[in-house]
Structure 1
Amino acid sequence: MDVLGREDGADGVSGRFGRYLAADRSLGARVGVDFSGPHAGVVVGKRGSGKSYTLGVLAEGLAETPGVAPVVVDPMGAFAGLEAAGVPVVEPRVRAAALPPRAWCELLDLDPASPAGTLVWRAATEGESLDEMRAWVADADAADAARRAAANHLALADSWGCFAPDAPTPRDLLADGAVVDGTALETPALRAVVAAVADGLYRAALDGSKRLPWLLVDEAHACASGAAAAAVDTLYTRGRAPGASVVLATQRPSALPETAVSQSDLVVAHRLTSARDVDALSAARPTYLSGSVSARLPSRTGDALVVDDATETVCTVRVRERRTEHGGGSRVVERSETTG
């Protein structure tokens, strides 16, 4: 079996990914993905093209591989079936102290230099929990208007329901991996969760965690930007040395941070029709990818163009079927017996 992300002749663990797809649509040899070392990747494709399904295939392989742990941020409920592979679904809870002061200002859309922004920044420095941050603001020696504004913003964050002092630690998430169920969260709360989890997994890798972390984020154009961008960018630019991996899946590659595509050693591209998104993918085209990117993108659901920077090769793959249930389908109108 050929292994994507691994130089020829190298040893290591891998997960089954699919089979090569020839120009006449015949299936070739089996293809795997290297899990023995850290990787940075993106999975892109328009809605319904199979990108979330592909992310689930990667998560299944990681769940079956000793020494690694997938942590999946699931905004759409597509990955609950991974429980059958031993990956528990957990509530989207993070500690307030897991976010740095600047991320708090970005999260609440506050200018750090404004009176309210300054108070929130100081509160994030002084308080370990959201309750402690709110108490610090209430007692702060500041103008009433600034304290009210800061208090109102922190009350908004509290209403999202994602901050808890007893939230799982990175060690907890890495024990068996985790599917972080973000289906009930608003976009700012999702960004807070991604920021805290990404930073926590990076620090766990720095501390020598027994299992190498893999952060997988679906709908990344929405929840890996803004307040989450800096923490995700760290995984792409500095995660390799400590052994932390990251894969973002999105229908809008043009909305991803520039480093997400430029620093990826594995790009999996399903069907794309937006010229802006095709251009974003083409802008990072390696020299060994000959011809037009748009001309090489697949047109059928489940087929993918894979750019493997480790071996500097490009191939088309038919992604294998998932062994666990995929929850990424769209709901349709049910036809009743009385409908004509």
Structure 2
Amino acid sequence: MTVIGGERDAMELGTYLARDGSRGGPVGLDIDRAHAGVVVGKRGSGKSYTLGVLAEALAARRGVTPVVCDPMGAFEGLAAAGLDVVRPRVRASALDGRAWCDLLGLAPTSGAGALVWASAGASDTLAGMHTHVERADAPASDRQAAVNHLQLAADWGVFDPDGLTVEALHGSVLALQKLDRAPANAVVRAVASALYRARLEGAGPLPWLLVDEAHGFFEGVAGPALRRLFTRGRAPGVSVVAATQRPAALPDYAISQADLLVAHRLTGAADRERLARARPSYLPGSLADRLPDGVGEALVFDDATGRAHAVRIRERRTDHGGATARADEGDAVGAGQEPKPSNSSAR
């Protein structure tokens, strides 16, 4: 078996894809050490499916564990592989003052922004932040504006004084599909930060954070935490894999720091150009001539060997929820497993 990304412990990724479309020898992906990866592809090309294949394999191995950020409800079928599907709750203290201002759209130098920033440093809970603002020696208009913004955050239902410990995050699918962009970003930032801190202390198995529709998180308050994993996560043992249909929207560091790059079908000129610029030495010819067209087919770039591999991703062993709905499916569309409520939160 050819092992992409290393030479030792490998999960089954798929098979080589011959130019005539036939299957070749088996291809594996190294999971013995940490990686930073990006999976790109047009909607329906198989990028979320590939994340599911990774999650299945990681769930079956000892010493590693998947944590899946699911903003589209595509990964609830992974419950059959032993992953817990949960509605995540995070601690208010997982975000610092600057992050709170960014999350709520408040300028740190404004009266309300300064109050929220100070309350984040003074209290570990959202209720405590609220109380700190109400008692602050500040103009009533600033206090009211800060309280209104904190109440908005409370209404999101993602902040809880208790919650998902890092241990509980391991082997989980975080159901984000009912959350708007801001609260979903708050969850991803808290989770990414918690996994990183735990590994700095040497605690637990090596986590793989798998993030679907990642462009929405790089652009939001989760961005700094994801950047840290891409640039510094491999040393303590935190892997991160970001999937997106918009590679042109990814920050430069995500592409440059990724040692694994999986490219499914791309049709947008800007997306193809971004990929070609990212790995020019791997693509002596035209990118259009190298990218596979079929669903589930991918070009996998391996920085460990400096090669690009044409691969057919193996079939999922659990249900995949990322397929496009059809009119003839009627009421069955979206009838996936209901996520388990959780009253615990990442620190």
Normalising to structure 1: TM-score of the pair?
Answer: 0.94
- Quote how far apart the aligned CAs of 1:316 are: 0.6
Structure 2 stretches lacking a partner, 5+ long: 331-347
Cα distance in 1 for partners of 2:273, 2:113 equals 37
1:3 aligns with 2:27: no
Cα distance in 2 for partners of 1:248, 1:335 equals 30
Partner of 2:44: 48
RMSD between superposed Cα atoms in Å:
1.3
Cα distance in 1 for partners of 2:277, 2:55 equals 28
1:309 aligns with 2:303: yes
- Quote how far apart the aligned CAs of 1:295 are: 3.0
* Aligned counterpart in structure 1 of residue 151 of structure 2, from 146, 151, 155: 155
Deviations 1:158-214 (A, max 9, x none): 11111111120212212xx10001111111111111100011111111110230011
1:166 aligns with 2:182: no
Normalising to structure 2: TM-score of the pair?
Answer: 0.92
- Quote how far apart the aligned CAs of 1:287 are: 2.1
- Quote how far apart the aligned CAs of 1:335 are: 7.8
Q: Rate the CA distance shift 1:161–1:322 in 2: closer, same or farther, 3 A.
A: same
* Aligned counterpart in structure 2 of residue 142 of structure 1, from 135, 138, 149: 138
Contact 1:171 1:204 in 2 (8 A): no
Contact 1:191 1:225 in 2 (8 A): no
* Aligned counterpart in structure 1 of residue 73 of structure 2, from 71, 74, 77: 77
The DSSP-based 3-state class of the residue aligned with 2:281 is coil
1:241 aligns with 2:213: no
Contact 2:88 2:164 in 1 (8 A): no
- Quote how far apart the aligned CAs of 1:297 are: 1.6
Contact 1:3 1:14 in 2 (8 A): yes
1:119 aligns with 2:115: yes
Contact 1:233 1:257 in 2 (8 A): no
Cα distance in 2 for partners of 1:82, 1:335 equals 22
1:100 aligns with 2:82: no
Contact 1:195 1:227 in 2 (8 A): yes
Contact 2:198 2:204 in 1 (8 A): no
1:258 aligns with 2:245: no
Structure 1 stretches lacking a partner, 5+ long: none
In the alignment of these two chains, the number of paired residues is 330
Q: Rate the CA distance shift 1:125–1:311 in 2: closer, same or farther, 3 A.
A: same
Partner of 2:124: 128
1:319 aligns with 2:313: yes
Identity across matched positions, percent: 57
Provide runs of 4+ in structure 1 moved above 3 Å. none
